[in-house]
Amino acid sequence: MSELTTTYEWKTIPWRKLTRKVFKLQRRIYQASLRGDVKAVRKLQRLMMKSWYAKCLAVRRVTQDNWGKKTAGIDGLASLSPSARLALVGCLQLGDKAAPSRRVWIPKPGSAEQRPLSIPTMYDRALQALVKQALEPEWEAKFEPNSYGFRPGRSCRDAIGAIFLSIKQQPKYVLETDVAKCFDRINHQALCEKLNTSPSLTRQIRAWLKAGVMDGGQFQATPTGAAQGSVLSPLLANVALHGMEVAIQKAFPSDQCPKLVRYADDLVVIHKDLAVVQTSQQFLSEWLSGMGLELKPSKTRITHTLVLYEGRVGFDFLGYEVRQYLVGKTHSKQGFKTIIKPSREAQARHYRRIRALVKSHRAVSQADLIDHLNPIIRGWANYYSNVCSTTTYTSMDRLVYLKLWAWARRRHSHKSRQWIAHKYWLIGTREGWVFASRNEPDSIRLFKHTQTSIKRHVKVKGSRSPFDGDWSYWSQRVGHYPMVKPTVARLLKSQVGRCKHCGLYFLPDDLMEVHHMDKNQNNYRQDNLALIHRHCHHQIHARCV
């Protein structure tokens, strides 16, 4: 065990120093990969794998920061104590073996199918987080500019922004598709050859890929695929799909090159010529076969953004509907407008969730019902707050009102409409009728979709990466990110993108929490709030106990 492990207790580890040292090393890996210095990349990655600082951060990631920290693998370990975390740090080491993962089935949104998740042991999770810290900077320097899924500092909003920029000047044909069972069918040999990393890392990654899963007490081998649900699998999937954009650019002349936008295994190909789009579909099928993958026939279709083609106008991507509409010359110079809004399927799925929640909470108090509804409504509205969602928000608020009115009438079937309205709604406010509980000291109100302001999203620059060291760009970008709550955005601006506790800049993937400095959770005055890392928040409250 390292001398540092015996010197520190978990709560006394200088996390600020560790984060800075590890990030500096990651930035050096990124810069070496950017200039093509393979020897320097391998040397720095070996240094990362032996670094006690990096091991501590990897263990903290999987035991404190990750949402799945309380989900156990076949080892039964979850929610490790501080002493157990330190012991885990001391035994992390690359090898050529891995324990099987625990298979868990979860429902797939918008479908009756179930998605398989693989939960590795706590040791494998921590070791994968350590390997990811070494591999991610190298591949961030290589990844293509229009790849947005599972990458730090990028989101689905950037993918939608790239699509908008590609079609806003001219109507085009679009190939909408995704890769069939991408995580389950990746060819292991082709992936390891594409990684082209050091022998020690290759042996360990191959061991994870071949480890198998335990499903209901039965062992199942995994001859193909990367375990969906593990820490490293999103990066491996991106590596497997890397090169698609460059390959398409080389396959077509420069004046006929289509635009490819990819978010994880979902992708679209855009071009004004139908023949180019059709050829792109054939080319992608051949290219994916080299990794043991194929396009999903049921989700592969060609549409046009403005005119009817194959029974449809426009297309859906990541829950958004992208479409163009004909307008008069007084409304647009091009004679059409590009409108992006929540898809009909996303709206229906959101309403079904609200309806099911209201139906299953018939007997609860109004305040409890509002507490259950507000996170769902606010989260959905925030996701679509960067596109033309105002009309959708109004219609969704109307549907929610009708469902809540039925909920109230059922509870008081013998009361008049006026009595029910005055009991459950605040009438005559600026927002109209507001579903609110008067029994609480501070009236608890239902959040309306229309209370979410629409803010246009600025697409990330294609060549940018959090590892490039441009703190001013990334701290400002986090502060203006539309998905960030207004309170968090104000705190980010006032704190200049830094954590109030440790003083480090926030990275896009960092988990942030609002801390009440006087320990009063109801005091939301701006001077009483501080934005800090989640692990810093844990450290502060550990001292208070």
pLDDT digit string (tens) for 186-197?
Answer: 999 999 999 999
**DSSP letters for 34-49:** HTT-HHHHHHHHHHHH
As a 3-state breakdown, the chain gives helix, strand, coil percent values, each rounded to 5, of 50, 15, 35
Determine the pLDDT at residue 484: 58
Is the pLDDT at 453 greater than 50? The verdict is yes
Determine the pLDDT at residue 517: 86
Alpha-helical runs (H) found in 242-343: 244-251, 274-289
Is the pLDDT at 172 greater than 60? The verdict is yes
Determine the pLDDT at residue 348: 96
Label residue 515 left, alpha or beta by phi (over 0 means left) and psi (-120 to 50 means alpha). Answer: beta
- Rounded to the nearest integer, the mean pLDDT of the chain is 89
The 10s digit of each residue's pLDDT in 207-225 is: 999 999 998 889 999 999 9
The residue with tokens 């490790």 is 80
What is the C-alpha to C-alpha distance for residues 509 and 135, in angstroms, rounded to an integer? Answer: 16
Alpha-helical runs (H) found in 365-503: 366-383, 390-411, 417-424, 471-479, 486-494
What six digits make up the tokens of 187? 């060819």
Is the pLDDT at 507 greater than 80? The verdict is no
Q: How confident is the model at residue 482 (pLDDT cuts 50, 70, 90)?
A: very low
Q: How confident is the model at residue 545 (pLDDT cuts 50, 70, 90)?
A: very low
Determine the pLDDT at residue 440: 61
What six digits make up the tokens of 32? 């070496």
Is the pLDDT at 203 greater than 60? The verdict is yes
**C-alpha pair distances (Å), 169 with each of 107, 166, 196, 335, 534:** 39, 7, 41, 10, 43
The residue with tokens 């090169």 is 243
What is the C-alpha to C-alpha distance for residues 46 and 93, in angstroms, rounded to an integer? Answer: 11
What is the C-alpha to C-alpha distance for residues 465 and 453, in angstroms, rounded to an integer? Answer: 28
Determine the pLDDT at residue 339: 95
Mention every residue, 6+ apart, whose C-beta is less than 8 A from residue 294.
Answer: 179, 180, 185, 285, 288
Name the CA radius of gyration of the chain, rounded: 25
Share of the chain above pLDDT 90, in %: 65
Q: What is the DSSP letter of 460?
A: P
The residue with tokens 């922004």 is 161
Q: How confident is the model at residue 480 (pLDDT cuts 50, 70, 90)?
A: low
Determine the pLDDT at residue 227: 86
Is the pLDDT at 481 greater than 60? The verdict is no
The 10s digit of each residue's pLDDT in 62-117 is: 998 887 778 888 988 888 899 999 999 999 999 999 999 999 888 877 677 788 88
What is the C-alpha to C-alpha distance for residues 134 and 453, in angstroms, rounded to an integer? Answer: 39
Q: Which helix (H) or strand (E) holds 338?
A: strand 336-342
What is the C-alpha to C-alpha distance for residues 193 and 204, in angstroms, rounded to an integer? Answer: 14
Can you point out the beta strands (E) in 457-528?
512-516
Q: Which of 3-7, 187-191, 449-453, 458-462 has the lowest mean pLDDT?
A: 3-7
The residue with tokens 């026939």 is 297
The 10s digit of each residue's pLDDT in 534-544 is: 888 888 887 66
Q: What is the pTM of this model?
A: 0.86
**C-alpha pair distances (Å), 273 with each of 170, 280, 326, 334:** 11, 11, 20, 18
Determine the pLDDT at residue 274: 95
CB 482 within 8 A of CB 386: yes
Q: How confident is the model at residue 442 (pLDDT cuts 50, 70, 90)?
A: low
